[in-house]
Amino acid sequence: MAEQTEVIEQIDPRDIGTPDNWVPRHPELIRLTGKHPFNSEAPLPLLLKQGFITPTSLHYVRNHGPVPKLSWDTHKVVIDGDLSNPLTLSMDEIAKLPYIEFPLTFCCAGNRRKEQNMVKKTIGFNWGAAAVSTAIWKGVPLRYILQMAGVKIDNHDKIRYVCFGGTDKLPNGYYGTSITLKWAMDEEKDVILAYEMNGKRLTPDHGFPIRMIIPGIIGGRMVKWLNKITVSDKESDSWYHFHDNRVLPPHVDAELANKENWWYIPNYIIYDLNVNSAVAAPAHDEIIPFSSFTSDSEYTLRGYAYSGGGRKITRVEVTLDDGKTWLLSNLFDPEEKNGRTWCWTFWSLKVPTHNFVRSSEIRIRAWDFANNTQPENLTWNLMGMMNNCHYRVKIHVITYGKDVVLRFEHPTQAGSNPGGWMVKQQEQKQSLPSAPAKDPKTESSSKGPKYTMEEIKKHNNEKDCWIVIDKKVYDCTKFIPIHPGGTTAILINAGTDCSEEFNAIHSEKARKRLATFYIGDEVFIDYERPLLLWSNSSLVLKRSGRVS
Ligand SMILES: Nc1nc2c(c(=O)[nH]1)N[C@H]1C(S)=C(S)[C@@H](COP(=O)(O)O)O[C@H]1N2
Ligand SMILES: [Mo]
């Protein structure tokens, strides 16, 4: 079913000059956080085209920092804490232990975040709907290793934890997180230390030489470049365990979260994935010419659905009439093991093509084995996590050349890629004259001197460092040593326009701080965005499979 993994050996020119200049990567992955670190997803139609198993090279990647350069021969995993026989294991030793191998759908809790960002900016970058992939993972059960290390079986009510640490040192310390010991010891949960992915050793981006695999939960807890496992009566003390992968209540903004320590409230941590689904066919900007219709022509809608906790998808429904009626789609056989599944399900539904003409939107929702379904509307949250509202694809009838065509429009496109009906809505909102005036204290004025890119490029080192963000020029030289994201993060962008990099990851607070370094403006040719981008713009349509 899966097209076999091609081995990528090429270094992408975009990685040159970054700490990842040695990591081979697929050129078609969409980069979401500029040059560095590497966060990327495949184009959604390309992802689905691969079938049930995603080739390693197209599996989404979420790296908080540079990829650690580790070697199989020297890497060790330390297993310590509340154990009678703490261990240190080499990779060769680990690879000799009993193993299990199974397919697992990985999903970042930020999947579909760009939709949230279009409602209001979160502190996270713009994941599209492809922060999800499926691979076959092989490794030794954590339970087995803990038994080797003399774990004491719980016979009291006190919760104990297993904490995982990676070798990647980040601005706020090492990446790490934890699960309960009970979970780790549960044979049904299939928690493993994985050293193979799709039949080969892990790639650097996916945690080489070893990572955690914890089925049914968000990718964020599956620590890559694993070198430490600690049994403790406390959960992980990693900064990232508390400040990432949480769904805070919608009224909590960044300032409040920090001031009142909302990060540490146990209720808001994410473990299990929630039920979610998306449409891959029709693709964004796909068109069907009316001239290709016959009275009985049909179109096959396709997409993915998944849920957490081993709960299988039990149905995916489609409405073409705003929820008045729901059509039941076909589900591909779920990958099941003892009544649970760790994988996504693909769905499809044949629809008479002419039904699209009377409809303005394809909307879908999935249900899982606990009869959880997706909410109609999204609930904004500070980190933009777990967005699983109904997935809506708009249908437009437009003239294109000499033909009249149906054109499909997804809510967003991943990263800074343009297009999407939510993106358009947001642009319209911003260009309305009634939009609230910008705060003069935080917005730098545009009265400063003008600089050309030629001039800006010269200020490209640690003694003299200018950057351009959204056409404004900032002298960040003094800020380099105290940048919370590290010095290299600024230096690799010195003398360049790094709007994309900056906007992808910075908060409102960082933006205010940036304003204090304003020195002038980049000269550029301004143009007025039309209010109704859609009706005014000349469209460049990408043709995809369906156009015959
Ligand atoms: N050590 C380490 N582990 C990590 C991360 C990281 O940055 N460092 N990112 C996490 C997040 S948020 C996700 S979604 C998954 C992504 O795994 P992948 O890049 O193999 O798809 O890894 C998780 N494990
Ligand atoms: Mo993630």
Cβ(168) – ligand 1 distance below 6 Å: yes
245 annotated active-site: yes
**Strand pairing class (298-306; 276-281):** antiparallel
Convert 129-140 to b/e letters by CB count within 10 Å (16 or more is b).
bbbbbbbbbbbb
Q: How many CA atoms lie within 13 A of 273 on its CB side?
A: 36
> Ligand 1 mean position to 426 CA, how many Å?
30
Q: Which range is least confidently modeled, 18-22, 81-85, 508-512?
A: 508-512
Cβ(220) – ligand 1 distance below 6 Å: yes
> Ligand 1 mean position to 33 CA, how many Å?
15
Q: Which residue type is seen at 140?
A: V
446 pLDDT band (50/70/90 cuts)?
Answer: low
Rounded CA-CA distance 211/205 in Å is 11
**pLDDT of 333:** 79
Between 483 and 543, where is the model more confident?
A: 483
Question: Is there a contact between 140 and 192 (Cβ–Cβ < 8 Å)?
Answer: yes
Q: How many CA atoms lie within 13 A of 494 on its CB side?
A: 21
H or E element, residue 247: none
- Token duo for residue 406: 């149906």
Choosing from 108, 163, 465, 476, the catalytic residue is 108
**Strand pairing class (87-90; 76-81):** antiparallel
All structural domains of the chain with their residue ranges: 76-100+140-247+256-267, 276-427, 450-522
Pick the CATH number of 276-427 from 2.40.160.40, 3.40.50.720, 3.30.9.90, 2.60.40.650: 2.60.40.650
Range 340-359 average pLDDT: 95
**pLDDT of 533:** 28
- Token duo for residue 113: 């975040």
108 annotated active-site: yes
- Mutation probe of ligand 1 site: the residue of 38, 56, 62, 70 with most atoms within 8 A of C-beta: 62
**The tokens 């003892």 sit on which residue?**
338
Q: What percent of the chain has pLDDT over 90?
A: 72
Q: What percent of the chain has pLDDT over 70?
A: 91
Rounded CA-CA distance 312/314 in Å is 6
400 pLDDT band (50/70/90 cuts)?
Answer: confident
Tell me how far the alpha carbon of residue 400 is from its chain's centroid: 34
**pLDDT of 156:** 66
**pLDDT of 213:** 98
Ligand 1: which atom is nearest the Cα of residue 168? 1
Q: Is the pLDDT of residue 431 over 80?
A: no
Rounded CA-CA distance 432/542 in Å is 29
277 pLDDT band (50/70/90 cuts)?
Answer: very high
Cβ(38) – ligand 1 distance below 6 Å: no
Cβ(165) – ligand 1 distance below 6 Å: no
Cβ(132) – ligand 1 distance below 6 Å: no
348 pLDDT band (50/70/90 cuts)?
Answer: very high
Rounded CA-CA distance 534/285 in Å is 12
Ligand 1: which atom is nearest the Cα of residue 60? 21
Q: Is the pLDDT of residue 432 over 80?
A: no
Rounded CA-CA distance 393/442 in Å is 37
Q: Which range is least confidently modeled, 252-266, 308-322, 421-435, 532-546?
A: 532-546
Q: Is the pLDDT of residue 438 over 80?
A: no
Q: Is the pLDDT of residue 538 over 60?
A: no
Range 240-255 average pLDDT: 97
> Ligand 1 mean position to 223 CA, how many Å?
6
pLDDT digits (tens, 9 = 90+) for 204-218: 999 999 999 999 999
Q: Which residue's CA lies nearest to atom 19 of ligand 1?
A: 61
244 annotated active-site: yes
Choosing from 12, 15, 20, 244, the catalytic residue is 244
pLDDT digits (tens, 9 = 90+) for 47-63: 999 999 999 999 999 99
**pLDDT of 318:** 98
**pLDDT of 3:** 44
Q: Is the pLDDT of residue 546 over 50?
A: no
Choosing from 245, 381, 388, 503, the catalytic residue is 245
Superfamily holding 76-100+140-247+256-267: Oxidoreductase, molybdopterin-binding domain (3.90.420.10)
**pLDDT of 295:** 85
**The tokens 């990985």 sit on which residue?**
106
**pLDDT of 536:** 27
Between 437 and 291, where is the model more confident?
A: 291
Convert 255-289 to b/e letters by CB count within 10 Å (16 or more is b).
eebeeeebbeeeebbbbebbbbbbbbbbbbbbbbb
> Ligand 1 mean position to 133 CA, how many Å?
13
> Ligand 2 mean position to 274 CA, how many Å?
14
Rounded CA-CA distance 416/316 in Å is 29
**Beta strands across the sheet bearing 87-90:** 87-90, 76-81, 226-232, 161-170, 173-180
Residue 352 preceded by cis peptide, ω within 30: no
Q: State the fold for domain 450-522.
A: Flavocytochrome B2; Chain A, domain 1 (3.10.120)
Q: Is the pLDDT of residue 319 over 80?
A: yes
